[in-house]
Structure 1
């Protein structure tokens, strides 16, 4: 076998292995140092004062979800706040329903935009209309846990350099295998990654479905960019490049709807992958200065993930070609089916999920019921991550620069 091909095979095997151990160690370290002795989430830390705050809810064709979302937002256990719903050119009766709800709830204010200008623009309009320094932003299908706002504002008021805080999304819809897999993914992958990244100081992205911001920080960087396909990744990088701190608060729970079809999942993950590439193209060169060194770990992690995706794609292409045409012995790959190394990766994957259960059971008592399904996770999600990353890079490079990112209603699962 050619030495370069042998090196690629070794990288393809060891990269997910090393990252899984990194996330396990980092996640458990964060838990035992910062979470284990924290108060129970039904008893959040007291605050010396409770500043007025705003919940921003951008909405586009959310008529089916409005009542659940607004009911949770309007019943926060926090003394002084407002809720601002931004109807961004919805084609259904979202606007009419919001107007009716506004007459019933004094806390609720409604902003109507006449056409679809995208989530970033809707958030900017909401931020400019808000009467507070502290903003909690959620999606139009998200349901905040009772104390979520308290936890977010507690972080934002804990230090003058805290620019944002990201919460802990939980999956509401679990009627299919994909839904159950995402329960495990959000706890043992996304949650563990955010904990690990907080250990070394920087977060790749806030969770766009639940995030809190200091408006002063947003104003300094120019608010959300309306030409980025994932405004949450971009705002995270720009805040941290401006030396604002982003916190992670697992007690700030938010229940969300996620795709439960392969088509819907593909579109969502391709958008996420494109967003990562866009951020790299726009901001990577600005990280070369020593003052931005704390972002180097996040940058390296992302670049290695892209390299791994293309390495796996190359291996699969060589294997497929070997089935149809004669290949030189140095380039021939006999099989890509799991063998002893596949067993090791599966065991490490299960260990990672088991370690996440130690942490996650304090936030969701019966999350262990989904442990059986995680054995399918590597096949389902590593494969889709590989494919979306490979597709996203050329698609983003060919994208017309400056094009506004407008709303596209996502798959919200089978209900």
Structure 2
């Protein structure tokens, strides 16, 4: 009879291998069919009509970034748009800076909320103030590329069932090892996954830092939920469960700040992991309907990732217990150090990074210089991702369902 560790190591090894090739094949197919001969970023497709667009920017304590964020939003190469900044009860001088900017820019309007009610509520207030059917939503520390609005509105106007478009976040801060690894992560992991999911059916989530929505679609599903830690995952699932299409547009660039400390990275990834758990618990019962079968792959992929995290935890626990007590041979794990299977995982990981660089050179010419740093990615981000998932499951299960998710100022890296 084969030992339990044999099956544990088998799943722990083959799951990331299979998913990596799954993402690479889907991502490269997407690139070959939709990106390879597409017009360059600076020449977005012509539109029969160019309707007004509203750019919504929820802000909470964004004093250090608000000037450049607003400046980038106002610099859009799109003929008819407005910018609405929602100050969600900031305790710094964000409100004063926004008012000064609004006095000098006719396109900019500011909505002030008297206390911190969370990003979901701020986006709803911005939607109520907006004059357009098409809403481009970015974070208060993000720099929107000048052509991004055109690319995203083009998608929204291309079909009546297009409910949302997710853009292509790019990392601004690259002064540390964590920052440089995240450059590769957003290309090879996040960008590749979105391409593959778009090919195979449904997206797990839009990027909360840059996404665009059709107001009619939002109205049908009740807008953003203010009791979810990650409002972007929740809105993505509810839109697709209501049979709205979500598209990925890699030409819609947005330059963002990311954590560059282990503490900041842990808090961010724990929030992402908890958000996934909350959405799964909230919506998985509704997915049993045959009409919502196209979401089954998204749910299945997520459940497998959670199973993998707990499998890795069990392997570590069995190895640690074996150091103190005599376990049966069927439960004994000799070592956690990478052996031949670890080398194969690392090679496949680097192959995925190489494939993503080939694709992403179209959007960032020098992205390849970060390739060297990606050798450290599995040791840092896989471990953080596994541990945050393990912690997030009980945290999401035990969370009070009616608790409002409010802003917490994130780690924005070494500036």
Query: After TM superposition, is the score higher than 0.5?
Result: yes
After superposition, give the CA deviation of every residue in 1:73-100 in whole Å (9 maximum; x if it has no partner). 0000000000000000000000010000
Which position in structure 2 is the counterpart of 1:12? 12
Q: Is residue 2:240 matched to residue 1:240?
A: yes
C-alpha distance in 1 between matches for 2:246 and 2:232: 12
Stretches of structure 2 that go unaligned for 5 or more consecutive residues are none
2:109 and 2:191 map into 1 onto residues whose CA distance is 33
Residue 381 of structure 1: SS of its match in structure 2?
helix
Deviation at 1:223, TM superposition (A): 0.3
2: CA distance, partners of 1:251 / 1:57: 20
The corresponding residue for 1:374 is 374
Alpha-carbon separation, structure 2, partners of 1:26 and 1:4? 33
Query: Could you tell me how far apart the structure 1 residues matched to 2:8 and 2:348 are?
Result: 21
The residue that corresponds to 1:206 in the other structure is 206
Cα separation, 2, equivalents of 1:48 and 1:401: 45
CA contact (8 A) 1:319 1:334 kept: yes
State the SS of the aligned residue for 1:29.
helix
- The answer on whether the counterparts of 2:5 and 2:333 sit within 8 Å (CA) in structure 1 is no
Q: Distance in 2 between matches of 1:196 and 1:252?
A: 18
Q: Which residue of 2 aligns with 1:391?
A: 391
Match of 1:229 in 2: 229
- Please tell me whether the aligned partners of residues 59 and 90 of structure 2 are also in contact (alpha carbons under 8 angstroms): yes
CA distance in 2, matches of 1:392, 1:173: 27
Shift of 1:183: 0.1
Q: In 2, distance between residues paired with 1:370 and 1:324?
A: 42
Q: Please tell me whether the aligned partners of residues 258 and 411 of structure 2 are also in contact (alpha carbons under 8 angstroms).
A: yes
Q: Distance in 1 between matches of 2:277 and 2:76?
A: 36
8 A contact 2:4–2:330 mirrored in 1 = no
What residue in structure 2 maps to residue 81 of structure 1?
81
2:318 alignment partner, SS class: helix
Aligned-residue offset at 1:4:
3.5
1:12-411 aligned at under 5 Å gives the runs 12-411=12-411
1:284 alignment partner, SS class? helix
What is the distance in 2 between the residues matched to 1:347 and 1:5?
23
Cα distance in 1, alignment partners of residues 78 and 110 from structure 2: 20
- Offset, 1:6: 1.9
**8 Å contact 1:55–1:73 — kept in the other structure?**
yes
- CA drift at 1:2: 4.9
SS of match in other structure, 1:228: coil
Instruction: Give, in angstroms, the shift of residue 5 of structure 1.
Output: 3.2
Question: Take 1:162 and 1:406, find their aligned partners in 2: how far apart are those partners?
Answer: 29
- Look up the SS of the partner of 1:47 in the other structure: coil
The total of aligned residue pairs comes to: 415
Say if 2:119 and 2:406, in contact at 8 Å, map to a contact too. yes
Shift of 1:410: 0.3
CA distance in 2: counterparts of 1:210 and 1:175, whole angstroms: 23
Find the aligned partners of 2:199 and 2:208 in 1 and give their Cα distance. Answer: 21
Whole-angstrom CA distance in 1 between matches of 2:64 and 2:5: 52
RMSD: 0.7
**Deviation string for 1:231-287 (max 9, x for gaps)?**
000000000000000000000000000000000000000000000000000000111
Cα deviation code 1:40-66 (max 9, x no counterpart): 111110111110110000000000000
Q: TM-score, structure 2 length as denominator?
A: 0.99
SS in 2 for 1:236: helix
1:55 alignment partner, SS class: strand
- Does the aligned pair in 2 maintain the 1:2–1:331 contact within 8 Å? no
Q: After TM superposition, where is structure 1 displaced by more than 4 Å over at least 4 residues in a row?
A: none
Residues in 2 aligned to 1:58 and 1:153: alpha-carbon distance in whole angstroms: 20
Q: Which whole-Å deviations, capped at 9, do the CAs of 1:211-244 have from their partners, x for residues lacking one?
A: 0000000000000000000000000000000000
CA positional deviation for 1:3: 3.9
